[in-house]
Amino acid sequence: MQQEYDAVLGNMSAQHHYNQFGISIVEGLLFGKHCVAAISGVGKVASAFTSQYLIALYQPIFVVFTGVAGALNPVYQIGDIVIARDSVQHDMDGRGLGFPRGEVPYSGLRFFTSDITLLAIAEKTVCAHCVHIGRVLTGDQFITNKEQTTYRYMLDELQGDAVDMEGASVAYICKKYETPFILVRTISDKANNDAPENFEAFLPEVVGNSLAVIQQILFNSHN
Ligand code: ADE
């Protein structure tokens, strides 16, 4: 998001930033490591496009995706960090073709796992809030209503801990390129009727969490 991007810019030296296809992109040294950062855009298509473009161009050693998520897991509180053990497209529905919901038909792809080395590093982030490891469900909907029938499906069948709108699509692209990937989200709302207000109010605090995890990964990864 713009706020996270601005925080990265503020911590990057030797930076060169530019705009391509309407995407803000910056290259430079972040916490001593060569990095490229960008604003992905909202939703599965925009985020897949951005990540595909950047991976093809820069061939990164790994990809870190940060942002906010709505909590499904009742233990998760606003401000907590969730690091995705895996992610899945909750709105992919190929049941008419005989595939379970969430699975990309004819691909065998359903749950996209985060890189275990990056996960082990990221989960040690020191943060004022809790750091959870969980399952993130991705779809092109901002979830606001616990009465939705899809809500039960998200909890019971997919066993989701949080919802977002980009994680599994970026994970899909990284899987195709065999690029290690980690998805890190700050809980901004509880995916209920208060979600739109919580989401807006909470954005500035997200920046601190995202930067803390990015710093933790860049300090401790060997590349
Ligand atoms: N990202 C943050 N909150 C969300 C929600 N409630 N639904 C989908 N994506 C989100």
> pLDDT-derived band of residue 2, with 50, 70 and 90 as boundaries?
confident
Residue 162: pLDDT above 80? yes
Q: Is the pTM of this model over 0.85?
A: yes
Which CATH number covers residue 177?
Answer: 3.40.50.1580
User: What is the residue-wise DSSP string for 69-125?
Assistant: EEE-STT--TT-EEEEEEEEETT---GGGTPPTTSBTTTTB--EEPPHHHHHHHTT-
Interatomic CA distance for residues 199 and 196, integer angstroms: 5
For tokens 């060169």, the residue is: 16
Supply the pLDDT for residue 223: 62
Domain presence at residue 56: no
Question: What is the distance in A from the centroid of ligand 1 to the CA of 33?
Answer: 31
Q: Whose CA is nearest to atom 3 of ligand 1?
A: 70
Work out the percent of the chain whose per-residue pLDDT is above 90. Answer: 71
Domain presence at residue 29: no
Average pLDDT value for residue range 192-199: 73
Work out the percent of the chain whose per-residue pLDDT is above 70. Answer: 97
| Six-digit token string for 83 | 């690091």
Question: What is the distance in A from the centroid of ligand 1 to the CA of 129?
Answer: 19
Domain presence at residue 17: no
Number of domains within the chain: 1
Question: Is 189 an active-site residue?
Answer: yes
* Atom of ligand 1 minimally distant from the CA of 141: 8
Span 105-150, pLDDT tens digits: 999 999 999 999 999 999 998 887 888 999 999 999 999 877 767 8
Buried b (16+ CB within 10 A) or exposed e, 83-112: bbbbbbbbbbbeeeeebebbbbeeeebbbb
For tokens 């919580």, the residue is: 198
Q: Whose CA is nearest to atom 1 of ligand 1?
A: 69
Residue numbers of the domain that contains 203: 62-220
Domain presence at residue 15: no
Domain presence at residue 190: yes
Domain presence at residue 139: yes
Given 157, 189, 197, 200, the catalytic residue? 189
142 lines ligand 1 (CB under 6 A): yes
Closest CA to 107 of 165, 176, 48, 47: 176
Question: Is 4 an active-site residue?
Answer: yes
Domain presence at residue 26: no
